[in-house]
Amino acid sequence: MVANGGKQKGKTFARLYVADEFRFENNGKMFVIGLYADGVVLFRVPRNAPPPSKEQPYGLDLLSLLVVVGGFTGEDTVRINFAQNKPFEQRVSLKPGGSVNLHIPMRPFTFATFGVKDLLVEVGGEKHELQLELRADYIDPVSDLSAFMSAVTRPVPTPLPRTPEDATIVANAGKPALKRRRPKSS
């Protein structure tokens, strides 16, 4: 979804893309899985299912947002607020005519109501209001509603705490492995 906020001379811009997942390749290209081209995320819901609520929200294991910002030169902080989630903030540096991709994976993505959801992007002293829509696609009632509902409302496992080894693995990601030297024969 390309939301409002097209590039204008001397003005910042922000665009929103929504997909199941964005993956970044080593060469800088992006691999997109399940793009919601119109920014509308459809949930197939049996007609006999209760509506989502704060007590029993609907959800996906993962929904990814990609916010593209630009229209300024130099360093600035980009702030992104979406619904009740923790605000996302990142310092970026742009060359003239450049833009930056900010990837926000939402694991899990849960919601208590269908409808249009606002994403507020602040950059260069300007605010951009971007939107995505969560929509129900009602299907025939199902006899075993508990099995269906567990798929969209199941609790998310708590991640394991990070260890010092995790930091080393992340720091070395993408670096070539060291080659082992063969011992000299005598």
Q: How many domains does the chain have?
A: 1
Q: Would residue 110 count as lying in a domain?
A: yes
What's the chain's average pLDDT? 80
Q: Would residue 1 count as lying in a domain?
A: no
Q: Would residue 186 count as lying in a domain?
A: no
Rounded CA-CA distance 89/78 in Å is 6
Q: Are strands 40-46 and 88-94 parallel, antiparallel or unpaired?
A: unpaired
Q: Would residue 4 count as lying in a domain?
A: no
Instruction: Find the DSSP H helices in the chain.
Output: 145-153, 164-172
Rounded CA-CA distance 134/59 in Å is 11
Residue 165's pLDDT band, with cuts at 50, 70 and 90, is low
**Per residue in 100-136, pLDDT tens?**
999 999 888 889 999 999 999 999 889 999 999 999 9
Residue 81's pLDDT band, with cuts at 50, 70 and 90, is very high
What pLDDT shows up at residue 5? 38
- Residue of 11 and 162 predicted with greater confidence: 11
What pLDDT shows up at residue 18? 96
Rounded CA-CA distance 30/22 in Å is 7
Q: Flag whether pLDDT at 11 surpasses 60.
A: yes
- Residue of 171 and 103 predicted with greater confidence: 103
Q: Would residue 178 count as lying in a domain?
A: no
What residue type is assigned to position 162 of the chain? R
Q: Would residue 184 count as lying in a domain?
A: no
What residue type is assigned to position 4 of the chain? N
Q: Would residue 43 count as lying in a domain?
A: yes
What pLDDT shows up at residue 143? 86
Question: Whole domain around residue 126: which residue ranges?
Answer: 13-172
CA proximity to 65, closest of 26, 34, 97: 34
Read off the CATH number of the domain in which 53 is found. Answer: 2.60.40.10
Q: Would residue 67 count as lying in a domain?
A: yes
Instruction: Find the DSSP H helices in 15-159.
Output: 145-153
